[in-house]
């Protein structure tokens, strides 16, 4: 029987967010890291491009132990409200904005001339622009500063915005606060796992815990050990709390979710098996996993890591 090895990865930070069915207005989070998110983390660390095949990364057996499940956190957002300065590209992409801005500048010029004690019949354009504010800092009343719902103008054919007035969009984003997970990646080739471990500590691209606003803290790669996911999760203590330096009591029995290479009776599929991470959108397939209560062995060795 081929000996298997497991790469242990620590995923901890102030915030994590592992989206499952996120949309613009509502961005959810799974209560634990997804295989797609973790494989994407490893692919970014290795420097793979989005169009590159995942190869052995997708074949890794995935397991996650919730040492600290964290607290769900809701972040309320309003997007697109208020007034914004007109930018150069706003004038180029929408002739209506350019016309409105030109009219506004003419009004400012007339005001400058009317309020000048000794009006100049040919006022300095620089003085007019200065009174209207530096370019890129001027706004139009009742106009949204950035184009929205771009479409071709039926008259000119130019790309214009079908919504020029400002309307705020309400979005809702969910995170896991102060969570810590021990992830296991099982593979028969320890050299391949060591290469991933080195990349996680020396990444070629930026890494985040599911979303770009969630950077990881402390060490990620905790070493490659022989055994299966079930064995390793039992023989490793819970991750230490940040700033404390000591692991929680081993009497705690955290939940663990462990992938099965084959469908199991009575176990439903999980749709987070990464197939590819194309720029047009990731593609996922099904996989199977089981949930266990893990009893930490009393002889589990302490961690020597930087939380």
pLDDT tens series, the chain, 307 aa:
578 999 999 999 999 999 877 666 778 898 999 999 999 999 999 999 988 889 899 999 999 999 999 999 998 887 766 555 666 666 666 677 777 777 777 766 666 556 655 555 554 444 443 444 554 555 565 555 555 667 777 887 776 766 655 567 788 889 999 999 999 999 999 999 999 999 999 999 999 999 999 999 989 999 999 999 999 999 999 998 765 444 454 457 899 999 988 887 767 788 888 888 877 778 888 899 999 999 998 887 778 776 6
Q: What does residue 93 show for φ and ψ, rounded to 5 degrees? A: -85, -10
Give dist(CA 190, CA 180) in Å, integer.
25
Report the 10 Å Cβ neighbour count for 145.
Answer: 17
Token pair recorded at residue 105: 């500048």
Q: Give the pTM.
A: 0.71
Using DSSP's 3-state secondary structure scheme, residue 298 falls into coil
Indicate if the alpha-carbon torsion angle 154, 160, 163, 165 is positive or negative: negative
CB 64 within 8 A of CB 92: no
Q: Does residue 7 contact residue 224 with C-beta atoms inside 8 Å?
A: yes
């Amino acid at each position: 029987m081929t000996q298997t090895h497991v790469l242990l990865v620590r995923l901890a930070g102030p915030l994590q967010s592992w989206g499952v069915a996120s949309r613009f207005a509502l961005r959810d989070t799974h209560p634990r890291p997804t295989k797609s998110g973790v494989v994407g983390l490893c692919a970014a660390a290795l420097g793979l491009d989005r169009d590159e095949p995942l190869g052995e990364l997708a074949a890794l057996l995935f397991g996650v132990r919730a040492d600290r499940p964290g607290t769900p956190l809701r972040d309320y957002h309003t997007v697109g409200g208020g007034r914004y300065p007109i930018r150069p590209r706003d004038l180029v992409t929408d002739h209506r904005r350019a016309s409105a801005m030109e009219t506004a500048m003419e009004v400012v010029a007339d005001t400058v001339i009317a309020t000048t004690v000794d009006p100049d019949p040919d006022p300095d354009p620089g003085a007019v622009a200065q009174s209207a504010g530096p370019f890129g800092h001027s706004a139009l009343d009742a106009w949204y500063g950035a184009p929205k719902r771009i479409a071709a103008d039926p008259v000119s054919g130019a790309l214009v915005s079908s919504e020029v007035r400002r309307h705020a969009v309400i979005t809702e984003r969910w995170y896991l606060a102060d969570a810590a997970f021990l992830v296991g990646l099982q593979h028969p080739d320890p050299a391949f796992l060591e290469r991933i471990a080195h990349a996680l500590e020396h990444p070629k691209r930026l890494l985040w815990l599911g979303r770009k606003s969630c950077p990881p803290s402390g060490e990620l790669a905790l070493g490659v050990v022989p055994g299966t996911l079930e064995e390793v999760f039992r023989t490793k203590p819970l991750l230490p709390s940040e700033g404390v330096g000591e692991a929680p009591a081993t009497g705690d029995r955290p939940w663990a979710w462990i992938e099965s290479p084959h469908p199991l009776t009575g176990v439903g599929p999980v749709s987070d098996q990464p197939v590819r991470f194309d720029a047009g959108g990731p593609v996922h397939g099904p996989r199977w996993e089981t949930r266990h209560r893990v009893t930490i062995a009393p002889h589990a060795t302490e961690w020597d890591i930087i939380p």
